[in-house]
Amino acid sequence: MNITRDEWTQIAELSGPALKARIFELLQEASHAFHTDAFNTPETLEVIPRLAEIVPKRPELASYREPLSALARLSGLWNYIDKEAATEADVLLAESVTLPELDGVTLHREQVEALNDLLAGRNLILSAPTSFGKSLLIDALLASSKYRRVAIVLPTIALLDEFRRRLRRRFPDRFAVVMHPSDSADEDTPTIFLGTQERLIHRTDLGTLDLTVVDEFYKLDPTRKDERSVTLNAAVYKLLNRSKQFFFLGPNIDGVRFDQGGRWKFEFLRTRFSTVAVDTYDLRKVAEKEARLLEEVGEEANWPALVFLSSPDRANRMASRAAEEMAVSDTASPFAEWLRANVGEKWSVVNSVRYGFGVHHGRLPRAIASHMVRLFNEGTLPVLFCTSTLIEGVNTAAKTVFIYDKDINKAPYDFFTYSNIKGRAGRLGQHHVGRVYLFNEAPDQEEMEVAPTLFADEDTAPLDYVVQLDDQPTRRSPDTRVTAIKATLGLEGEDVRLAASVGLENAAILKSAVEKSQSASLQWTGFPRYEQIAAVVSLICGVRRASEFGAFTDKMLTYQINALRQAPSMQAFLTKYDATYRGTADAYDHVFRFLRACEYGLPQWFALVQAFVRGSGGHADYSLFIVEMSRWFKAEALKDLDEEGIPIQVSERFHGGETKIELTAKLAELARSRSAELTPFERQWVLSALELGQGT
């Protein structure tokens, strides 16, 4: 059964008896299709959300609500059963797969199939479309009371915070949620460990796990050219050794390659079961693509809309162009004013936001990125210019996706990535029919097979990976390659794993540079002088470009580190940067890249220099400086709250030495009491971030 987009448009334009007759025909055709071999095809399944978009809104179709529910039951899309109009049998079915613990969510047939496998104790790898509702399965497992200690590996900190919020809403008292490195776990308390691979691999309080969940599991495949893949595989290996069961989930995977003699057995479930339909508009032949894009994003019928672009610079630039042409919101000015005062007026995003255009990419400060998505979902920012970072699980209520560019990091994206971007269009319960606008040729369809390193033969695995597993009790006989690299680098234990995290070849080059340097400025403890920071940075930038850490030169990187250390507040650091900035609009974001590097990247390199200085007989202890740099030379509570959606520029104004819990309570009270110490916009931001009601 395959009805074109134009035909659906014509159907929606009908009314009265003509509409009733056509919908009756469609119900008949779909019923027949669901009794044939075409049962599970996306083309047939999408009839349900398309009819659900039309039938409830048209009075003349009221009598068709019951047969539509019967069709939803037959298709397996049980979440489309209308409990107010369906037959008693259909209502009973819907109620049987409705979970009161999860806000009354109704599962569909394939969710139930996957859930039954998992509750039977089987390891499962699930490949399903973006709109399948994969994350809901995690919540259903947690609601079952079968699992007391769970680790969930997520690709980004933004997604960590989204999960944390959902878990706190649904399980406020059942689990302790451990997300930050400073959080601790109690052995006797049911606990969920939320973390990126970099965080979970270093935790020492995991204990025995009942379940390990890995989201976006395709990132385990090193051929995806993700530099974090080695650490992800090592972290998951560590977790599976402690875990009774695992659940991997991700979109649009056709197969998983594994070593036949591998330790871990699993079932692979691939489904194309989608809960929304999508209309695709081909704009490849449009001559003035930019003009057409701006025309379409200005159409309210397309809102809320995501515009996919190839890089952060492109996203910033196109958002600025849109703001030059039009305004799509008259309620975003308070956010723009806050950004101007707390980041800087030269940041192009300030003006984009003022006219209703949001931006989302990996360089944005986390609390700001989180608020961009929140305001997008609320409608304050109807259009969000984004990069591929948004496809990694962050929930958006997008109706339309404009795929404007065809590259990621200057290379054409493949069919897998293209499918994931398309999958962001439409949302169950809000936009049953999504829209996708294509401005370039779509990649050729191809099979996507994932080959995780941890499922391969360890004897042929990359050395960077094997080094990180060296202390695992389940390892076979010692790998001679590991013994050799330890001897070459002169490192043991945690230091050799640290070398693997930056790349063993890079570590060897750095070791040689340290030994040749013989600089007394490398030998320091506590907090270094300026020239001592410069000595370490110079060595690091001899191996990796300064631009990778958000600076143009090693001298500029040293200056930035010292400026951050001396700044009385993050607001002061950023506004000073803004006041003295003389570069292009595209390069402005380097300051945010620098701040990310201070969290992860620079601390590892500084620690490795320290290890090599010690190995050469020198005296060095950078540990205090490294810890302070990783939290921007501010209290840990401030950085943790920034990750949870409260910008550091707000929380630092009220921090007087409190713990994160105490500071959170303080900010909540200030917001609820409508304190003049917070602007009205900041009060709303704090209440939203903490998911609290309005003050009285």
What's the pLDDT tens digit per position in 102-141? 999 999 999 999 999 999 999 999 999 988 999 999 999 9
Q: How many CB atoms lie within 10 A of CB 115?
A: 19
d(C-alpha 353, C-alpha 404), whole Å: 20
Ranges of the chain whose pLDDT falls below 70 = 37-40, 260-261, 393, 470-478, 694-696
The DSSP bridge partners found for residue 212 are: 151, 246
Supply the pLDDT for residue 694.
56
Question: Residue 287 in contact with residue 481, Cβ under 8 Å?
Answer: no
Supply the pLDDT for residue 224.
86
- C-alpha closest to that of 393 among 153, 181, 143: 153
Q: Which CATH code of 3.40.50.300, 3.30.420.10, 3.60.21.10, 3.30.9.10 fits the domain covering 277-438?
A: 3.40.50.300
Question: Residue 228 in contact with residue 468, Cβ under 8 Å?
Answer: no
Q: For the chain, what percent of residues have pLDDT higher than 70?
A: 97
| 3-class DSSP string for 396-449 | CCCCEEEECCCEECCEECCHHHHHHHHCCCCECCCECEEEEEECCCCCCCCCCE
Supply the pLDDT for residue 80.
96
d(C-alpha 439, C-alpha 427), whole Å: 22
| 3-class DSSP string for 136-187 | HHHHHHHHCCCCCEEEEECCCHHHHHHHHHHHHHHCCCCCEEECCCCCCCCC
Supply the pLDDT for residue 262.
74
- 109-270: which CATH architecture? 3-Layer(aba) Sandwich (3.40)
d(C-alpha 397, C-alpha 394), whole Å: 10
d(C-alpha 233, C-alpha 544), whole Å: 24
Supply the pLDDT for residue 50.
96
pTM: 0.94
The C-alpha angle with vertex 258 and arms to 131 and 210, in degrees rounded to 5, equals 65
Supply the pLDDT for residue 696.
38
Supply the pLDDT for residue 474.
60
Every domain range in the chain assigned CATH 3.40.50.300 = 109-270, 277-438
